[in-house]
């Protein structure tokens, strides 16, 4: 007689094992066997244990929406799906359209004809009205230049600067001396030029030339500087004197002394006139009082060849043949800021009219650099090696750009965009160093002078956007 335990074990081994669930210990697993579930849920078992294929006519929904690229509406982008024309020939625009479709929708985008007839491929989210927009606004890459096959056009074409001067004037006896400042343009549109021992005035409206003064054979003109307003012109001489002239009446008002050597730099601040000399000093002169000068600024160890007051008349920048750039305030007799980074004479100095405290300076042949300084924070901002002697700098009054003129070895004029310091134009024409530079009162035109004894007029800057010119402009020359 068989052992009941043995019979029970054999029965269990021959019967298939029923799937079991992982349940808590207090629950009875016999009540949750799949065969004990109601018959209405038996299709779950078939789904698990069989390769179930849904009906093609039945749409299966889930809890998330995953878009299908095959249903994309390419007509919105005006892109054809096939690169081949109806005649079977290669369409010239087909390659471009294929690249553009791949960039917009991914590399594995099927043709739209393959997706027709399938309800599941329809776009679910669709605008009520479809309008054509530019590809730049629809592209997920924006203006990224790294997208292969797509070349984006610039948003704004760079401004074109005429490469030739619109006017050239002869300037006989214009000295080829780096340390002099012989050209200045007044707020009344009159150009003053020192030629030898004489000063000439050229009216930009009428092109009339007037001889203002003749210093005689024992003296020569070393610098000229217009007062900010009015018709007063300061003339620095080789004898160390400064003359003040009323240009409207061609009459000398006064002569001021104080320097022992030539006066090569002049700068006005309202009624205060600063003069820099080869005797290494700077004299502050108030033309309203009888004294020749009110104070003396000492600090440079060589000739002072550059002087510029800031637009708010609070700071005076001076450059010298000692390679130093100093900044003074209205009441100091010693420099409040000293910059010693240049390795050659600093003649080119310009304050920005757009940002308070922004100062640009340029060095001579051994330096060749334009440097930018923040005098408010006493910081050196940047440096640009121009490759040539920097003779002059001037900022545009209308846009954030500046012009530099150069000597050895290229004698060029460069228009820069700040702060990127990208070159907008390089102008050539002078055969000697471009030692002199002035800007017109409307801020559009510059005049350059060189040892080749010519003055050249260039249109380099745009006009103000909202400027209305009631007076005669340079364009009428």
- Over residues 3-20, the pLDDT tens digits come to 544 444 444 444 455 555
**CA–CA separation, 298 and 301 (whole Å):** 9
| % of the chain exceeding 90 in pLDDT | 61
Mean pLDDT value across residues 343-348? 98
Mean pLDDT of the chain: 80
pLDDT at 148 over 80: no
pLDDT at 353 over 60: yes
Which letter does DSSP use for residue 289 in this model? Answer: S
**CA–CA separation, 410 and 407 (whole Å):** 6
Look at 112 and 287; give whichever has higher pLDDT. 287
Compute the CA torsion angle 248, 253, 257, 259 (nearest 10 deg): -10
pLDDT at 235 over 50: yes
**Residue 371's closest CA among 447, 303, 430, 319?**
319
Angle at 432 between CA 428 and CA 438, to 5 degrees: 70
Model confidence at 182, in pLDDT bands (50, 70, 90)? very high
pLDDT at 137 over 80: no
Model confidence at 30, in pLDDT bands (50, 70, 90)? low
- pLDDT of 97: 79
Least reliable range by pLDDT among 7-11, 69-73, 75-79, 336-340: 7-11
Residue with tokens 């002569």: 255
- pLDDT of 62: 55
- pLDDT of 179: 97
**181 and 266 in contact (C-beta within 8 Å)?**
yes
Give CA 338 to chain center in angstroms.
27
pLDDT, tens digit, 9 for 90 and up, residues 392-413: 999 999 999 999 999 988 899 9
**CA–CA separation, 432 and 68 (whole Å):** 69
**CA–CA separation, 160 and 420 (whole Å):** 18
Mean pLDDT value across residues 224-232? 92
Model confidence at 115, in pLDDT bands (50, 70, 90)? very low
**159 and 437 in contact (C-beta within 8 Å)?**
no
Look at 322 and 120; give whichever has higher pLDDT. 322
Mean pLDDT value across residues 192-209? 96
| % of the chain exceeding 70 in pLDDT | 67
What the block records as the tokens of 155 is 């948003």
pLDDT at 224 over 80: yes
Mean pLDDT value across residues 321-342? 95
If you compute the radius of gyration of the chain from its CA atoms, what whole number of angstroms results?
A: 41
- pLDDT of 196: 96
**Residue 452's closest CA among 438, 469, 434, 470?**
434
- pLDDT of 282: 97
pLDDT at 260 over 90: yes
What is the model's pTM? 0.67
Least reliable range by pLDDT among 72-86, 214-228, 297-311, 315-329: 72-86
Task: Please give the C-alpha separations between residue 111 and each of 87, 101, 115, 309, in angstroms, as whole numbers.
Answer: 19, 10, 7, 69
**Assigned fold of 169-471:** Methylamine Dehydrogenase; Chain H (2.130.10)
- pLDDT of 434: 98
pLDDT at 302 over 80: yes
Left, alpha or beta for 25 (phi > 0: left; psi -120 to 50: alpha)? alpha
Mean pLDDT value across residues 71-94? 55
pLDDT, tens digit, 9 for 90 and up, residues 430-474: 999 999 999 999 999 999 999 999 999 999 999 886 344 433 444
**CA–CA separation, 182 and 451 (whole Å):** 11
């Amino acid at each position: 007689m068989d052992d009941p335990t043995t019979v029970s074990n054999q029965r269990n081994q021959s019967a298939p094992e029923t799937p079991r669930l992982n349940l808590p210990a207090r629950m009875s697993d016999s009540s949750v066997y799949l065969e004990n579930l109601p018959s209405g849920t038996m299709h779950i078992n078939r789904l698990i244990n069989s390769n179930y294929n849904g009906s093609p006519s039945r749409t299966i929904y889930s809890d998330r929406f995953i878009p299908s690229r095959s249903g994309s509406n390419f007509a919105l982008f005006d892109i054809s799906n096939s690169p081949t024309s109806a005649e079977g020939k290669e369409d010239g625009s087909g390659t471009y359209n294929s690249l553009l479709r791949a960039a917009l929708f991914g590399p594995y985008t099927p043709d739209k004809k393959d997706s027709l007839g399938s309800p599941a491929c329809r776009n679910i989210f669709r605008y009520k009205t479809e309008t054509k927009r530019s590809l730049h606004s629809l592209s997920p890459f924006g203006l990224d230049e790294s997208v292969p096959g797509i070349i984006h056009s610039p948003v704004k074409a760079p401004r074109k600067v005429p490469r030739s001067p619109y006017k050239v004037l002869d300037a006989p006896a214009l000295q080829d001396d780096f340390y002099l400042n012989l050209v200045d343009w007044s707020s009344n549109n009159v150009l003053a030029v020192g030629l030898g021992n004489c000063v000439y005035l050229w009216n930009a409206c009428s092109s009339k030339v007037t001889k203002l003064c003749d210093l005689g054979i024992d003296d020569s003109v070393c610098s000229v500087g217009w007062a900010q307003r009015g018709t007063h012109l300061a003339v620095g001489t080789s004898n160390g004197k400064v003359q003040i002239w009323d240009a409207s009446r061609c009459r000398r008002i006064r002569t001021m002394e104080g320097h022992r050597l030539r006066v090569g730099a002049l700068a006005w601040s309202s009624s205060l006139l600063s003069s820099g000399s080869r005797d290494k000093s700077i004299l502050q002169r108030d033309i309203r009082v009888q004294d020749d000068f009110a104070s003396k600024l000492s600090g440079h160890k060589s000739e002072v060849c550059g002087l510029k007051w800031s637009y708010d008349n609070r700071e005076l920048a001076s450059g010298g043949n000692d390679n130093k750039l100093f900044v003074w305030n209205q009441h100091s007799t010693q420099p409040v800021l000293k910059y010693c980074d240049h390795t050659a004479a600093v003649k080119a100095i310009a304050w920005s009219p757009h940002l308070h405290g922004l100062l640009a300076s340029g060095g001579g042949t051994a330096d060749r650099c334009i440097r930018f300084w923040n005098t408010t924070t006493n910081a050196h901002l940047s440096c640009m090696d121009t490759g040539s002697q920097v003779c002059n700098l001037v900022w545009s009054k209308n846009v954030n750009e500046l012009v530099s003129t150069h000597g050895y070895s290229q004698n060029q004029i460069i228009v820069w965009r700040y702060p990127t310091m990208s070159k907008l134009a390089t102008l050539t024409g002078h055969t000697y160093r471009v030692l002199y530079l002035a800007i017109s009162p409307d801020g559009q035109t510059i005049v350059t002078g060189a040892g080749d004894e010519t003055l050249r007029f260039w249109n380099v800057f745009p006009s103000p956007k909202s400027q209305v010119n009631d007076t005669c402009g340079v364009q009428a020359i």
